[in-house]
Amino acid sequence: MSSEQGGERGFIVVDKRGKDEPAAAGPKAAEGGAHEAPRTLPKPDFAALVISLGHSALYHLGIVPDPQTGQKARLDRALARQTIDTIEMLEEKTRGNLTEDEAHLIRDLLYDLRARFVEAK
């Protein structure tokens, strides 16, 4: 049965990104120039996600510097707590589905982040 016969209506998506921008503002310009070689990034995995979230929590705790400026980040306990809570949620939702190494990583990371959160004032 076609969508017209069933009374369902479809939709059309029109991509208008970059229509008003000059050609030089494309992806190569954003990466630093047309002469720069494309970066090869590692395949995402669970450990990389957890480590990335952990780094974000450390940033919000003011422990690691801003990657762009190199200056120490301002302490933001609310964002740090939210990030730690997100990692805790991942631990709970993935329990029983992780490898031993992944379970160990998330458990140790949470222990460390919780201790640093308590120390942060």
Distance separating alpha carbons of residues 60 and 58, to the nearest angstrom: 5
- Which of 47, 56, 72, 68 has the alpha carbon at shortest distance from 113? 56
| Domain chopping of the chain, boundaries | 46-119
Q: Residue 86: phi, psi to the nearest 5? A: -65, -40
Amino acid at 85: D
Distance separating alpha carbons of residues 35 and 31, to the nearest angstrom: 10
Bridge partners of 72? 65
**Where would I find the H helices in the chain?**
27-30, 46-60, 77-94, 100-119
Q: How much is the pTM?
A: 0.66
Per-residue pLDDT of the chain (121 residues; tens, 9 = 90+): 444 455 556 666 666 666 555 544 445 445 555 677 788 988 899 999 999 999 999 999 999 998 888 888 899 999 999 999 999 999 999 999 999 999 999 999 999 999 999 999 7
Bridge partners of 65? 72
